[in-house]
Amino acid sequence: MSQEHEPHHHHDHDHDHDHDDDDVQEHREHGAPLTEVELRVRALESLLVDKGLVDPAALDAIIDTYETKVGPRNGAKIVAHAWVDPDYRRRLLEDGTAAVAEYGFVGRQSEKILVVENTPKVHNMVVCTLCSCYPWAVLGLPPVWYKSAPYRSRAVIDPRGVLSEMGVEVPADTEVRVWDSTAEIRYLVLPERPAGTENMTEDELAALVTRDSMIGVAKVRA
Partner 1 sequence: MNGAHDLGGMHGFGPVELERDEPVFHHEWERRAFAITLAAGFLGKWNIDMTRYAREQMPPAEYLATTYYEHWLFGLEKLLDDTRLVSRAELQAVLKGGARQAPVPAAGVRVLAARDVEAALRKSREAKADDDVPPRFNVGDLVRTVNINPVGHTRLPRYARDKRGAVALDHGVWVFPDTNGTGRGRKPQHCYSVRFEACELWGAGAGSRDAIYIDLWDDHLVPA
222 lines the binding site for partner 1 (CB under 8 A): no
Rounded Cα distance, 94 and 88, in Å: 10
CB closer to partner 1 out of 22 and 203: 22
**Could you say which of 46, 131, 153, 164 is catalytic?**
131
Give yes or no: 131 in active site: yes
CA–CA–CA angle 80, 175, 75 (5° rounding):
20
Rounded Cα distance, 113 and 135, in Å: 7
Asked if residue 35 lies in contact with residue 1, where contact means CB atoms within 8 angstroms, the answer is: yes
End-to-end CA distance of the chain: 44
CB closer to partner 1 out of 38 and 204: 38
Helix (H, G, I), strand (E, B), or coil: what is residue 113?
A: strand
Site map (CB under 8 A) of partner 1, residues 65-94, x = contact: xxx---x-----------------------
Rounded Cα distance, 166 and 118, in Å: 16
CB closer to partner 1 out of 85 and 184: 184
- Within 123-182, the residues that bind partner 1 by CB under 8 A are 127, 129-132, 140-141, 143-145, 147-157, 159-160, 162, 165-166, 172-182
**The one segment of 40-48, 74-82, 85-93, 199-207 that binds partner 1 by CB under 8 A:** 40-48
Binds partner 1 by CB under 8 A, chosen from 94, 108, 169, 222: 108
Instruction: Specify the DSSP class assigned to residue 65.
Output: I
**Could you say which of 2, 46, 110, 133 is catalytic?**
133
21 lines the binding site for partner 1 (CB under 8 A): no
Rounded Cα distance, 214 and 116, in Å: 10
